Structure 1
Amino acid sequence: MRAYVARFIDGAARSGAVAVPDDPEALIDQLADAAVGLSQRELENAIAYATVDDLAIDESDVQQIFRQKRQAIRKSGLLEFVDTGGLSLDDVGGLARLKGWLHRRRHALGRAGAGFGLAVPKGVLLTGVPGCGKSWSARCVAAAWGLPLVRLDMGRIFDSLVGASEAHMRNAIAVSEAVSPCILWIDEIEKGLSRPGQQVGDSGVSLRVLGTFLTWLQEKTSPVFVVATANDILHLPPEIVRKGRFDAVFFVDLPDEDERRAILDIHLKRVDRADDPLDLDALVELSGSSDGLDRGGMTGAEIAAWVDDAMLYAFERSLDGEAPDLSHEDFVRALDEMPILAKIRDKDIAALRGWATAHAQPAS
């Protein structure tokens, strides 16, 4: 595959009609890595289309190859391509330890890491409190690594026909390997892989699907990095967190004060209100716990919704002729109407933290 890409770029450079980098070696590696899983005909079509489009061969052509792979994803019926354009790990507020871990493994899927002798990373399991950034992190790491994000819906795996569920899992694995290198995102994995004894009336199908997935995860050599998320971790089968499965298991807790500040800043920028005359310290305090607990306030998802609700109040005021800036009072009014997860499910969160103490490392 690399030899074909190198010959194509060399021929384009000799023609004089196509712009090619002076030193194309890095680009050749990028294009060849992106083309893993494509037939030569598919690769020829993708590169030819990308070249004719702007009479240049550059990094943007990697995306054309990824677009070719999306066709295979859609045809599978089991996987979904997720657009991550414009995102980066900077769009994740807090979670410094998780982001550092991901940053160190960024190049392990590439040629440089393999040449150095790095093992192909298996993936990471993100557990913890709902709404605190697990799924968002999956989107952002794919964008930061420049890899396509492929989502596996566990609900599509299971079928009433005997043997079909296991076949669906094997097919999903085969497609993900065909479009690799990629990030395979399995959201709320516990919904499909529950603890032994909880498979009611499925004749052990869940156990067999689990076995197929875990065997592949432990033995795979393809550059598919799995990001699995789980909210109801108390129902996860113990095999999932056993050493040798995922490279790491992280627990994502409620954000602390500094993380709430970072999340607020991200969402104020999202609605283009970062320059409004707001007391950010006061908002951070307002988003926290009434009893002073450092991690007893809003989730990241709640902060995002809080900003959106405050914007509605600001808009209503602007219709009455008031200044269009967001105000502290807008946030107070929005908070009065919000149920806060940390208050509603405090016992459940305590149980999650107890599990995490023995099975996971903190993401923050």
Structure 2
Amino acid sequence: MTNTLADLELLMKSRQGLIVLDTVEEDRVLTLLRLLADRLTLPLFLWSRTKGLRRDGNDNAVYGTADPAQALAHIGSSTVQALYYLSGAGPLLQDSGLAEHLRDVATQLSRQPGAIVLSGVALELPEGLRRLSATVKLPAPDAAEFRRLLQRILRDMKRDPSAVQLTTEEENRLLEGLRGLTLLEAEKVLTRAIVEDGRLTADDIAHVIRAKKEIVEREGVLEYYPAEEALGEVIGLAGLKDWLAKRTHIVRSPKKAAEFGLTFPRGLLLIGVPGCGKSLSARAVANEWGLPLLRMDPGALYNKYIGETEKNFRRACDVAERVAPCVLFIDEIEKAFAGNGSSEDGGVSQRVFGTFLTWLQERKAPVFTVATANDVQRLPPELLRKGRFDEVFFVDLPDEPTRREILALHLGRRNQDPARFDLPAVARATVDFSGAELEQVIVSALYSAFAAQQLLSTEMLLVEAARTRPLAQVMSEKIAALREWARERTVPAN
């Protein structure tokens, strides 16, 4: 918050009469403005619709100033050089009369030490006020602020510091996990966790995940996706797993990684044959790293009203950054931007794509983006440029040993003992089958066995395999072209 304070001090010294703080955290705004007023030796006045205009620390408001017009009139006529915080005034500015009045008062204040401060997220100011104002985005609380909050909670609850039963690494993970929550939200999460069993342990990180889920659901532009699959359930893909394993410690110990000169990984683009585990891998990454998994459906963000699609997309990116550290999953990304460059949608796809590329390149928040694609011909070439993603992997069809493992996994999930089956024979009979197609062979054979009131057998699996035409054979030319394209452009995931 130190940099923000310095920015505000500079704006005040530059005679900026109207300042907008982009945040929902009024408590932090008050703390910041009190520090600012103290630095500049200016009195701080607070206004709200319920209490009117009063000096900070004084409960007695100026008579009649609950009316915003009267409050502005008082500020305009006052000879006191001061800082004025108008809490909850943003929506009132849609009144053209009030907006003009505020503009006049802010212009007057710009000629002397003093300013009016508003706060809110993405406040829509009228044009005249927007030109006059300066907006400062208040950064989300960092780990240091959350650590101070935790210490205060323990002190207020009269709990011994030994109630925090966390290793240094676990405590850092917990505090980093709180990123994206307001201090008030974090206080509720930590207090509830301590009250439940009288202590704070690594298990309480789940409380943080739940709190972030509520944020995502409340915003409605991203889908909170349950990450239930473990990385061990992803059969094969040794190259991808090795790459992820080397970055696990960075995710779990970002502070140590930063001291070592490493930053949070940016993300992956997984290209390959449909049904080979790309989406499963994305979900497993979030589970392995203990991070929330958010799914972006770009199609759901498109809106028929001008400008709304771009706004939705920016909101989605903002939510991902607020919930960070997290994994952002975009399935079949080529479908989202297939219209890029086309004029059929009035250039919306092109603008959204440009916004997305800029965000991929410049974001600072620890958001690990995993995008999947099946059709490389529809992928905009700009997306493949280094810097957008850390790596581009090609996920190919499973080989025979991997097919055996996949068959054993899916049989076990359906209460079938894999040892009863001749899995090498089934694996040999399923050349060019994807993981999803192997699963479907088992499901279809189970239907047949249940209908015949028999135990599932190897023969039934072989019959279903023989009936199935895998996608790799139906679209052999396309798969061959995909492999050829990937040969020199991607890293093998298998």
TM-score (norm 2): 0.67
Report the equivalent of 1:292.
none
Name structure 2 gaps, 5 residues minimum: 1-144
> Counterparts of 1:55-70 in structure 2 under 5 Å?
55-70=198-213
Report the equivalent of 1:315.
450
Report the equivalent of 1:175.
319
Q: Does the 8 Å contact 1:13/1:20 carry over to 2?
A: no
> Counterparts of 1:342-353 in structure 2 under 5 Å?
342-353=472-483
Q: Does the 8 Å contact 1:2/1:29 carry over to 2?
A: no
Report the equivalent of 1:130.
274
Q: Does the 8 Å contact 2:154/2:160 carry over to 1?
A: no
Cα 1:106–1:339 shift into 2, 3 Å:
same
- Cα distance per residue 1:254-287 (max 9 Å; x no partner): 1111221221122122113234411121111111
Cα 1:336–1:258 shift into 2, 3 Å:
closer
User: 2-side partners of 1:196 and 1:68: how far apart?
Assistant: 36
Q: Deviation above 6 Å: which 4+ runs of structure 1?
A: none
Q: Does the 8 Å contact 2:154/2:161 carry over to 1?
A: no
Report the equivalent of 1:294.
none
Q: Does the 8 Å contact 2:273/2:395 carry over to 1?
A: yes
Report the equivalent of 1:340.
470
- Cα distance per residue 1:76-108 (max 9 Å; x no partner): 2220011113x2211111111011111112233
Q: Does the 8 Å contact 1:169/1:209 carry over to 2?
A: yes
Q: Which residue identity does 1:147 align to in structure 2?
A: L
Higher relative contact order structure (alpha carbons within 8 Å, sequence separation ≥ 6)? 1
1:268 to 411, 414, 433: 411
User: 1-side partners of 2:395 and 2:167: how far apart?
Assistant: 41
CA RMSD in angstroms, aligned pairs only: 2.1
**Aligned with 1:15: secondary structure?**
coil
Report the equivalent of 2:491.
361
2:458 to 315, 328, 335: 328
Q: Which residue identity does 2:449 align to in structure 1?
A: A
User: 2-side partners of 1:328 and 1:281: how far apart?
Assistant: 10
Report the equivalent of 2:236.
94
User: 1-side partners of 2:427 and 2:152: how far apart?
Assistant: 55
User: 2-side partners of 1:277 and 1:31: how far apart?
Assistant: 45
- Which has the larger displacement, 248-257 or 44-53? 44-53
1:51 to 184, 194, 197: 194
1:301 to 429, 436, 449: 436
2:287 to 132, 138, 143: 143
**Aligned with 1:250: secondary structure?**
strand
TM superposition shift of 1:59: 1.3
User: 2-side partners of 1:50 and 1:81: how far apart?
Assistant: 22
1:155 aligns with 2:292: no
Q: Does the 8 Å contact 2:408/2:418 carry over to 1?
A: no
User: 2-side partners of 1:101 and 1:17: how far apart?
Assistant: 38
Who wins on radius of gyration, i.e. which is larger?
Answer: 2
Q: Does the 8 Å contact 1:18/1:57 carry over to 2?
A: no
**Aligned with 1:94: secondary structure?**
coil
Q: Which residue identity does 2:290 align to in structure 1?
A: G
- Which has the larger displacement, 164-173 or 176-185? 164-173
Q: Which residue identity does 2:224 align to in structure 1?
A: F
**Aligned with 2:488: secondary structure?**
helix
Name structure 1 gaps, 5 residues minimum: 289-296
Report the equivalent of 2:169.
26
**Aligned with 2:420: secondary structure?**
coil
**Aligned with 1:121: secondary structure?**
coil
- Which has the larger displacement, 120-129 or 2-11? 2-11
- Cα distance per residue 1:107-140 (max 9 Å; x no partner): 3332222222102321100011111111010001
Q: Give me the identity figure in percent.
A: 42
Report the equivalent of 1:77.
220
Report the equivalent of 2:92.
none
User: 2-side partners of 1:137 and 1:96: how far apart?
Assistant: 12
- Which has the larger displacement, 66-75 or 220-229? 66-75
Report the equivalent of 1:226.
369
- Which has the larger displacement, 227-236 or 348-357? 348-357
**Aligned with 2:337: secondary structure?**
coil
User: 2-side partners of 1:255 and 1:19: how far apart?
Assistant: 49
Report the equivalent of 1:103.
245
1:283 aligns with 2:413: no
